[in-house]
Amino acid sequence: MTQSSTVFELARLGGSRRAIFVGAIRVGRDHIASTVYTLVLAYAGSSLPLLLLFSVANRSLTDVLTGESVAIEIARSAVGGMALALSVPLTTGIAAVLAKPSGGRKRGEAARSGPPLPA
């Protein structure tokens, strides 16, 4: 959602579709980074009970790291990260095609979106 909003705001400022796409991809890198960090922390938090179970079972680190349950968690994290990394360029491309670049605003002209600001 934030990525497509970025594309439409850049289109409102003007420029070619390519320039809009390139600018939005730059912003998208930051979106990906913050979302990946959130995803990693969510997976780490959800796997804490699993780690506690391993520590109570007195299993060696090698057994834990090569176990099926850990492999499943790693696979889930990898698939989630890849899907996230692919969603930003895909969303940006679709939004860049749908956004109609305007001629740009004149200097000092306010944006036309959103409610009016109080005086």
Residues sharing a CB contact under 8 Å with residue 43, sequence separation 6 or more, in sequence order:
73, 76, 77, 80
Q: How many whole angstroms separate alpha carbon 108 and alpha carbon 40?
A: 43
Residue 41 sits in which domain range? 2-98
In terms of phi and psi (left: phi > 0; alpha: psi -120 to 50; beta: otherwise), the region of 103 is alpha
The residues, ordered by sequence, that sit 6+ positions from 69 with a Cβ below 8 Å of its Cβ are 50
109 in any annotated domain: no
Assess if residue 112 is contained within a domain: no
Q: Would residue 41 count as lying in a domain?
A: yes
In a domain, 87, yes or no: yes
Number of domains in the chain: 1
Please report whether residue 22 resides in a domain: yes
The reply to whether 117 falls in a domain is no
What is the residue-averaged pLDDT of the chain? 80
Is pTM beyond 0.85? Reply is no
Residue-wise pLDDT for 17-72, tens only, equals 899 999 999 998 888 888 888 888 888 788 788 778 777 887 777 877 787 877 88
SS3 90: helix
24, part of any domain: yes
Asked whether residue 106 is assigned to any structural domain, the reply reads no
